[in-house]
Amino acid sequence: MRNRSGTRTALAAALALTMLATACTGAGEVTGEEGVDLDVSTGVTEDSVIIGSHQPLTGPAAPGYLAISQGARAVFEYVNAQGGVNGREIDYRVEDDAYDPAQTIDATRQLVLEDEIFAMVGGLGTPTHSAVIDYLNEQGVPDVFPASGALAWNNPGEHPLTYGWQTDYTKEAKIQGQYIAENFAGEDVGYLYQNDDVGEDSQAGLDQYLAEQVVAREHYESEVPDVSAQIAELERAGAEVVVCSCIPAFVALGMLEAARIGYEPQWVVSSIGGDTATLQGLLSEFTQDTDAADVPADAFLDGMLITSYMPRVEDEDDEWAQFFLDVYEEYGEGGTVTNTHVFGMTQAVMFAQVLMSAGEDLTRQALVDALENQEWRGPSPVPFASGDGDHGGHQGVYVVRYESGGSIEMIQDPRVTDREGGDIEETDFAPLGPDELVFHD
Amino acid sequence: MSSPIRQCAERASAPGSAPASASPKPVAASPGDRWRGLPSPLRHLLLAALGLAAVTALLLVTGDLTALRVAAVGYTMLAIAGLQLLVGGSGQVSLGHGAFMMIGAYAMALLVLYQPMLPLAANLLIIVALSVVAGIAVGAATARLHGPYLAGATLILAVGLPGLTHRYHDLLGGSNGLVIRTAGAPPLLQGLVSDSEWKALVVWTAVVIGLAALATVSTGRLGRRMRAIRDDETAAAMAGIPVGATKVVAFVIASAAGGLAGGLQAYVLGTATPSTFTLALSLTLLAGLVLGGIGSLWGALWASVAIVYLELWASDLARALDLSRDAENNLPIVFFGVVIILVLRFWPLGVHGALQRVTIRLRSREPR
């Protein structure tokens, strides 16, 4: 009897699974989606518009990125205090996803179904946002300015409602590559990169200009906070210039390790790792209770080259940087304003700007039309693309040199390029100041 | 929704109740006895069907967001039920259960990416087979280990396995993981159920079948052997129970349940990344099991509901309290910890133990 009961379980399970099998075709065979209705005003009332975002508010990624939503919230509160946009207040709702895609999916559904957001603004992270990009497009929710430089956001054919924001990693790397090839001609170059799309896409750009000069390619995993082997290898290979396509924690680790072994390359850091205030915080944290505790964190950063596409908070002459400092002073949550705050603040200003252009009869279609036709004039000093089949966002970067003491010097004006093999071009783009740019009533 | 599971669970938790087929008592005519007269796999499958019907009814009256969470409760429950059999049944502590979920999830993602025409059921069967192989490998290697040593060995699995995604970056996608799109509701049912509801139903179909299998194992001879080993290994060996083999089998069954749960998770969420399958997941599963109640499948339901919903309730609570943002962000995690401590302080057998005590007290009050 017992043996037979085992067989029966197996039989019954097989039967049930067969039934399941006949009920659906291949698990990976996805049928084409039908068009979505964009002539809706979900989340819009007479006097408010609800927008949402998924951000890592807790967990290991939170210390690095919490500032983005804080910055954005400060700008939206400033906008609301000025009377909102077309008479509507912006209701900015942030859901925590702890940088875990499984949680991003839940958070996004909650925003879309429960909070009924009008649009997703600045959803953060490549793995996290990749998990919801299909869903947002299927639901007809405009997916504006995801906060990551992955190439995937600029794919209007497949994801017509997704509008990229960050200068993608390949464009940025091409301009870095050209700058190094011109200014450090003949010197040996080493790459230090994060072993995911950041590293992959960055190398695709760097190699277009530096293939001859590269002597070492070293990667790190974002889960393993140790780069000593990588730095030792870069030194052994004799790299005089190190291009770091890294997040801030690993820029700091790399610089410390290099200082420890007496290796002094020229550092070239991407925008994602180039927030000097964050770097200083990390460096003084890492040097605590070590021999280097008395060395000012600033000293490690002296002479570092950074590529950037937004206004920079170190720049005392920049109108937007000063404006952001003032706004954060009044509407922010306290603490030092970093370039990570500026990231969220620039995003918020640009979203408010396009919401303004979408007009008083606000529908999702109106927002998409506004995005497609917007003539962007800042706050960033770099041209911005969101129409004509190009959803790539910022189109290039400029190069600055950081000097200890907290000042930066612009050493190459903004240049733009594409993500393929196209040329790098100079641009005569000039942003409007905070007083001229229309982004609130 | 859960009465069937509860009944199997009660049977599972009562080691003394032998399967009806082995009972020497003559079968009486009352409905309860007739029910008990059915062979246990059939009984569990009937209860599973009932459970599925209840979930379907629940899905019909709720929306898409609930569908996603109901599905999450489903696969989490299956994973915990497997762990239950291992920890509560055979007394082996595993800190690496999340690793088996990861195996299942990545297997599902790879199958969908490279063999998109395979039906889901075939994928799930392949995943179960794969998890069984992984379970045999790990279980055989760890069968001689006890208590903290076994926990340590499985801990390595939970910590080490996500590293494979970096080692085989091209195949497994590194820290960004794999993103897949799975087919939604079949054309026949389109309009009747949404894609999310369909996926939740598929998940629960697989889950209740898995649970029925687990319940059958637990009430059968194998389950009895496991409990004998849990209570006293030497005594069990002297009674002629093959200790090593039984422990490996328990490990294999648990890993199959974990793998299947991971596969279902990848199917619902459409993504598999190393950051989902961290050590924290394995620990959460174990903590959930303790919270729900070790020693009964019914506890797995409480555990999974707690894991999925407790944080949501806590963040709603935090929002309602109007706390500072830092406190609001971190309150859910604190809340989960406090609830576990409180439950264990007052009901050491977990939520299920507490409920059982209440029912016993109520029954004893009934006039005889």
DSSP string, B123-164: HHHHHHHHHHHHHHHHHHHHTT--HHHHHHHHHHHHHHGGGH
A189 part of a folded domain: yes
Range scoring the smallest mean pLDDT among A4-18, A101-115, B12-26, B67-81: B12-26
Give, as one character, the DSSP assignment of residue A88: B
Same domain, yes or no, for A54 and A119? yes
Please report the residues numbered 193 through 222 in chain B whose beta carbons come closer than 8 angstroms to any beta carbon of chain A: 202, 205-206, 209, 212-213, 216, 220-221
Q: Do B118 and A26 touch (CB under 8 A)?
A: yes
Q: Which residues 304-363 of chain B have a CB within 8 Å of chain A?
A: 315, 325, 329-330, 333
Report the chain A residue with the minimal C-alpha distance to residue B118.
A26
ipTM associated with this complex: 0.80
Number of domains in chain A: 2
How does pLDDT run across A96-141, given as a tens digit for each residue? 998 888 899 999 999 999 999 999 999 999 999 999 999 999 999 9
CB contact under 8 A, A113 and B206: no
- Residue listed under structure tokens 């082996």: B92
Q: B104 pLDDT exceeds 90?
A: yes
Mutation for testing the B interface, residue in A68, A134, A223, A247 having most B CBs under 10 Å: A223
DSSP A217: E
A30 pLDDT tier (thresholds 50, 70, 90): low
Q: Cβ of A12 under 8 Å from any chain B Cβ?
A: yes
pLDDT at B16: 38
Rounded Cα distance between A17 and B209, Å, is 9
Domain contains A43: no
Give me B235's structure tokens.
Answer: 């005594």
Q: Which residues of B touch A116 (CB under 8 A)?
A: none
Which position has the higher pLDDT, B326 or B222?
B222
Gap between the Cα atoms of A137 and A53, Å rounded: 15
β-bridge partners, A218: A192
Residue at A108 is within a domain: yes
Q: Is the domain of A254 the same as that of A372?
A: no
The answer on A380 and A323 residing in a single domain is: yes
The enclosing domain of A283 has a CATH number of 3.40.50.2300
Does residue A401 fall inside a structural domain?
A: no
A299 — pLDDT class (breaks 50, 70, 90): confident
Residues A130, B175: C-beta atoms closer than 8 Å: no
DSSP-assigned letters across all residues of A314-362: T-TT-HHHHHHHHHHHHHS-SS---HHHHHHHHHHHHHHHHHHHT-SS-
Residues of B in contact with A201 (CB under 8 A): none
Interface check for A333 against chain B (CB to CB < 8 A): the answer is yes
pLDDT tens, position by position, A137-186: 999 999 999 999 899 999 999 999 999 999 999 999 999 999 999 999 99
pLDDT score of B43: 86
Residue of B nearest to A31 (CA): B183
* Residue at which a domain ends, from A293, A308, A323: A308
A334 and A289 both lie in a single domain: no
Domains of chain B by residue range: 3-16+35-277
Rounded average pLDDT over A316-343: 92
B175 touches chain A (CB under 8 A): yes
| Burial label, A17 (beta-carbon count in 10 A; 0-12, 13-18, 19+) | buried
Average pLDDT over residues B264-269: 94
Exposure of A279 in the CB half-sphere (CA atoms within 13 A): 31
A288 shares its domain with A197: yes
Q: For the segment B180-222, what is each residue's pLDDT rounded down to a tens digit?
A: 988 888 877 777 788 888 999 999 999 999 999 999 999 899 9
CA of B206 to nearest chain A CA: how many angstroms apart?
8
Contacts of B216 in chain A (CB under 8 A): 5, 9
pLDDT at residue B297, as a whole number = 86
Distance between CA atoms of residues B186 and B97, nearest Å: 33
Q: What is the pTM of this model?
A: 0.84
Place of tokens 């039967």: A15
Picking from A76, A79, A118, A115, the residue whose alpha carbon sits closest to that of residue A95 is A115
Task: Name beta bridge partners: A54.
Answer: A95
- Counting every residue written for chain A, the total comes to 441
Mutate to test the interface with B, among A91, A130, A224 (most CBs of B within 10 A): A130
Give which of A24, A31, A65 to mutate to test B binding, by max B Cβ within 10 Å. Answer: A24
pLDDT at residue B191, rounded to an integer: 75
Mean pLDDT of A372-398: 91
Q: Domain check: are A175 and A303 in the same one?
A: yes
CA angle A428, A394, A145 (to 5 degrees): 145
Assigned token pair, A65: 């990125």
Which strands, in side-by-side order, build the sheet including A143-144? Answer: A89-96, A48-55, A119-121, A143-144, A162-163
Instruction: Assess whether A162 and A192 both reside in one domain.
Output: no
Same domain, A248 and A331: no
Is residue A5 situated within a structural domain?
A: no
Last residue of a domain, one of A308, A336, A360: A308
pLDDT band for position B23 (cuts 50, 70, 90): very low
Q: Please tell me whether residues A352 and A226 are part of one structural domain.
A: no
By percentage, how much of chain A surpasses pLDDT 90? 68
| Chosen from B65, B176, B203 to mutate, greatest number of chain A CBs within 10 A | B176
pLDDT tens digits along B2-17: 344 444 444 444 433 3
What is the distance in angstroms between the Cα of A372 and the nearest Cα belonging to chain B?
28
Q: Which of B72, B117, B325 sits opposite A26 (nearest CB)?
A: B117
Q: Cα–Cα distances in Å, from A262 out to A255, A299, B238, B295, B320?
A: 10, 14, 67, 59, 54
Reported confidence tier of residue A380, pLDDT bands at 50, 70, 90: very high
Helix (H, G, I), strand (E, B) or coil at A75: helix
Q: Give a yes or no: residue A434 inside a domain.
A: no
A140 with A61, same domain: the answer is yes
CA gap A107, B344 in Å, rounded: 30
Confidence of residue B26 (pLDDT cuts 50, 70, 90): very low
Mark residue A396 as left, alpha or beta (left: phi above 0; alpha: psi -120 to 50; beta: remaining): beta
Regarding whether A274 and A197 lie in a shared domain, the answer is: yes
Domain extent for A115: 48-166+315-395
Q: Is A101–B216 a contact, with Cβ atoms under 8 angstroms apart?
A: no
A139 inside 8 A of chain B by CB: no
Whether residue A196 sits in one domain with residue A139: no
pLDDT digits (tens, 9 = 90+) for B127-186: 999 999 999 999 888 888 887 898 899 999 999 998 898 888 889 988 888 999 888 888
Contacts of B229 (CB under 8 A, 6+ apart): B90, B91, B236, B241, B243, B246, B247
* Mean pLDDT computed over every residue of chain A: 89
